[in-house]
């Protein structure tokens, strides 16, 4: 049946070619449905507990999606009439930003003064043209002594400031809304730089971070995919020394990528930062099947003098169908194991690559044979220097098998000792390289103004209007004072600062009254007077819930690592348990906390996925290779590369982030490929030629050695290209995967053959 199938493929080659071109074209049309997701929330599944907690907090108060303009005058002076006018004009213009619901700055800060028994609330900066030097000094003194502004809107050095715009997207068209806001504010920033060349302008905030994800992904797809295509073409051209063979492979690659992206569009899978690397990975993976079939085809053709292409194609398909099918299945299983993970974009990446691997297999046993027969291919009689060198290398491995086995085991053990050096750590701002404007602006803001990492709490009094309770306010104040003493903290935004300021204002601005009101009715009266005096858009809905039973408490931190964030949150939890009533003991929530937890959750889930994939792949290997012993031996070269790679990573880097947590599952399916092809050729020699283990190893090196190092080289190049990605999740994943594949080739060449010769007795 197999021979008849391939004979018909070659017989009806033109029909097969046209039929598949039409099919691929139809499927690829789904690419027009592809869309980029633009929210950081795509990294979290719908049932993620940290996401659910944060969504509940945002439903209670105003959402905290924002754009932060950071203004840095080159003369380092904020409190000048010219600079205050720039701030005031930008504040006014920011209300025109699409979906903006609030604008906060130094100039529109709601300053309080008392006039008799009346409370006066107004913008801090008004009538700028009439301000005197004394007025400017007074404004500066107020700002630098106001806890709600210091280290939030201005640093103690008073050389930079921020204008914060709160954005509330309607979520009717999330794909378009974020870019719309980003484009609008980027134009505002550009106009501001043009009008005031003496002021540097930086844009950061949650909305700009959301926009950075598709920006980085689109840039990668525009640069990395063409780069990888060029690398593949050059590598294959050097290896095949045949234009037609190289051309046929490129056609298969293009059809594979087009089909996969079309299926992605039809299935409604969104493109994200991680999944945008799928075309590069698929492009790389699609090469493997073609290389094995073509290398065998050219090897046979050179040996028969190039006189019978049809026979050479049929023989190549006969000896490669089984290992190519097996590697397709194992590779797909490895990528599908990513569905065990907690991060939806990585699940999408696994599913997309699995579809690509399956598509590449189908095209390799249909379109590729047809193309090879149609295209003119001329070869000389066997003069392959690569083949001769591989034969010599195989002989070297046979002769030095004991030394190689001992050396490899020693190297593996040494590298394994460094695995514990790896520590799970992440900083989501550093997901982007310094080529991305958001990263530059965020680093500048963190260094000069304030951090963008925060922890939000909703502190509940347990009763309606309870936020005016002196006991509740004192607990909130104690919590704020504890947080302010923590070295990682930049700013604490607490409602108690407003109550203390109101109490001082209503006592003639006497500094001794800067404390919480002692009477509940007095605190409630202050709050009512203040709220009635606030202008539209600057109310307290972002700090107090509707029935005034709870308040939002926001802690802003420096750009710190995952472990530091979790440590701060854990210390806060313990302090709450020891100092606050049960009703006020709550977990902090925010994007910062969500990203801090997701790495740990993903590693745990991926360990389950990898274990399941490893068991399944091992069973398939045993059944397919018809040998329990060989199946068990194959586990060693499949696990050793990951051990060596993470050991080397622990030695040189020592940090494992969110992206690297998926590398084990992803590379498992890839590294199996080489061992499958080597073992299939080894067993063919043992069973069909009754060869000794040493001769079987020589045969495997002779027939498949070249294809193994070529496919590995292409895979390493493909994943190494990802290291140039501006999205750090992709670049880190690409580098560690390239290292793992390199170690896989070393293990399959220097460890697997000695093990086979040691454990396989000759009959």
Average pLDDT over residues 80-100: 96
pLDDT tens, residue by residue, 272-326: 888 888 888 888 888 888 988 998 888 888 776 666 888 889 989 988 888 889 8
Q: Tell me the three state secondary structure of residue 66.
A: strand
For 564-687, where are the E strands, in sequence order? 655-656
**What pLDDT does residue 387 have?**
66
Average pLDDT over residues 434-448: 91
pLDDT at 89 over 80: yes
pLDDT tens, residue by residue, 443-456: 999 999 988 889 99
**What pLDDT does residue 307 have?**
66
**What pLDDT does residue 675 have?**
87
- Spell out the alpha helix ranges (H) of 689-727: 693-722
* Nearest of 321, 326, 329, 328 to residue 3 by alpha carbon: 321
pLDDT tens, residue by residue, 177-226: 999 999 999 999 999 999 999 999 999 998 999 899 888 888 888 888 88
**What pLDDT does residue 306 have?**
61
Q: What separation in angstroms does the CA of 535 have from each of 139, 506, 616, 642? A: 20, 20, 64, 60
The mean pLDDT of the chain is: 89
pLDDT top residue among 84 and 608: 84
Q: What separation in angstroms does the CA of 79 have from each of 13, 154, 359, 411, 707? A: 78, 11, 64, 63, 69
Rounded Cα gap, residues 174 and 213, in angstroms? 13
pLDDT at 41 over 90: no
pLDDT tens, residue by residue, 690-728: 889 999 999 999 888 888 888 888 888 888 888 888 888
Q: Are 715 and 741 in contact (CB under 8 A)?
A: yes
pLDDT at 383 over 60: no
Tokens representing residue 693 in the block: 């283990």
**What pLDDT does residue 286 have?**
86
**Residue by residue, what is the 3-state secondary structure of 159-186?**
CCEEEEEEECCCCCCHHHHHHHHHHHHH
* Nearest of 293, 299, 306, 301 to residue 370 by alpha carbon: 293
Rounded Cα gap, residues 675 and 670, in angstroms? 10
Between helix 385-399 and helix 752-759 the angle, nearest 10°, is 50
pLDDT tens, residue by residue, 91-122: 999 999 999 999 999 999 999 988 777 788 99
**DSSP β-ladder status, 100-104 and 161-167:** antiparallel
pLDDT tens, residue by residue, 495-506: 999 999 999 999
């Amino acid at each position: 049946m197999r021979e008849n199938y391939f004979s018909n493929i070659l017989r009806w080659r033109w029909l097969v070619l046209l039929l598949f071109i039409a099919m691929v074209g139809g499927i690829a049309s789904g690419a027009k449905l592809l869309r980029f997701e633009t929210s950081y929330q795509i990294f979290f599944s719908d049932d993620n507990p940290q996401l659910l907690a944060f969504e509940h907090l945002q439903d209670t108060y105003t959402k905290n999606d924002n754009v932060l303009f950071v203004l840095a005058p080159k003369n380092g002076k904020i409190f000048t009439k010219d600079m205050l006018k720039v701030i005031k004009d930008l504040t006014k213009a920011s209300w025109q930003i699409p979906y903006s619901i609030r604008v906060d700055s130094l100039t529109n800060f709601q300053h309080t003064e008392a006039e008799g028994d009346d409370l006066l609330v107004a913008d801090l900066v008004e009538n700028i043209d009439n301000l005197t030097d004394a007025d400017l000094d007074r404004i500066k003194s107020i700002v630098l002594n106001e806890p709600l502004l210091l280290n939030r809107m201005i640093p103690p050095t008073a050389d930079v400031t921020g204008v914060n715009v709160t954005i509330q997207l309607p979520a009717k068209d999330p794909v378009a809304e974020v870019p719309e806001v980003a484009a609008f504010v980027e134009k505002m920033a550009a106009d501001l730089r043009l009008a005031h060349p003496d002021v540097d302008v930086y844009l950061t905030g949650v909305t700009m971070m959301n926009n950075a994800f598709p920006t980085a992904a689109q840039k990668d797809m525009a640069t990395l995919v063409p780069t990888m295509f060029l690398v593949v073409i050059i590598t294959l051209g050097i290896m095949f020394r045949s234009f037609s063979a190289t051309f046929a492979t490129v056609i298969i690659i293009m059809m594979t990528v087009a089909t996969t992206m079309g299926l992605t569009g039809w299935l409604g899978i969104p493109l994200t930062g991680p999944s945008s690397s799928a075309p590069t990975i698929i492009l790389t993976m699609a090469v493997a099947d073609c290389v094995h079939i073509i290398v065998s085809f050219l090897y046979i053709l050179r040996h028969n003098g190039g006189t019978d292409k049809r026979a050479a194609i049929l023989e190549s398909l006969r000896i490669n169908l089984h290992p190519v099918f097996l590697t397709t299945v194992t590779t797909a299983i490895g990528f599908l194991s990513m569905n065990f993970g907690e991060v939806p974009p990585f699940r999408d990446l696994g599913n997309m690559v699995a579809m690509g691997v399956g598509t590449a297999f189908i095209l390799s046993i249909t379109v590729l044979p047809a193309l090879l027969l149609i295209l003119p291919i001329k070869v000389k009689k066997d003069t392959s220097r690569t083949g001769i060198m591989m034969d010599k290398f195989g002989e070297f491995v046979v002769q030095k098998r004991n030394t190689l086995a001992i050396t490899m085991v020693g190297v593996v053990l040494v590298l394994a000792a460094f695995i514990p050096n790896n520590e799970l750590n992440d900083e989501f701002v550093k997901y982007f390289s310094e080529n991305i404007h958001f990263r530059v602006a965020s680093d500048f803001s963190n260094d000069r103004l304030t951090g963008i990492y925060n922890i939000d709490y909703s502190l509940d009094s347990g009763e309606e209007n309870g936020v005016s309770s002196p006991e509740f306010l004192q607990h909130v104040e104690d919590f704020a004072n504890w947080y302010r003493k923590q070295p990682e903290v930049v700013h604490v935004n607490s409602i108690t600062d407003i109550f203390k300021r109101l109490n001082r204002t209503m006592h003639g601005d006497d500094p001794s009254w800067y404390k919480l009101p002692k009477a509940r009715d007095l605190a409630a009266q202050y709050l009512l007077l203040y709220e009635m005096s606030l202008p539209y858009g600057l109310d307290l809905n972002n700090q107090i819930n509707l029935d005034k039973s709870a308040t939002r408490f926001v802690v802003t931190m420096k750009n710190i690592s995952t472990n530091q964030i979790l440590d701060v949150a854990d210390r806060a939890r313990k302090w709450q348990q020891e100092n606050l009533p049960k009703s006020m003991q709550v977990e902090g929530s925010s994007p910062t906390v969500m990203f801090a937890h997701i790495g740990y959750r993903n590693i745990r889930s991926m360990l389950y996925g990898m274990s399941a994939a490893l068991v399944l792949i091992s069973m398939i290997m045993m059944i397919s290779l018809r040998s329990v012993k060989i199946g068990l031996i194959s586990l060693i070269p499949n696990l050793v590369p990951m051990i060596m790679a993470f050991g080397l990573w622990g030695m040189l880097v020592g940090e494992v982030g969110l992206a690297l947590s998926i590398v084990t599952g992803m590379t498992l399916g890839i590294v199996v490929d080489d061992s499958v092809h080597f073992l299939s050729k080894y067993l063919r020699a043992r069973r069909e030629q009754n060869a000794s283990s040493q001769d079987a190893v020589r045969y495997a090196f002779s027939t498949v050695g070249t294809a193994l190092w070529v496919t590995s080289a292409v895979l390493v190049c493909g994943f190494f290209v990802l290291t140039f990605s501006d999205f750090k999740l992709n670049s880190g994943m690409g580098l560690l995967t390239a290292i793992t594949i390199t170690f896989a080739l070393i293990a399959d060449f220097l460890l697997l053959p000695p093990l086979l010769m040691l454990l396989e007795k000759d009959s």
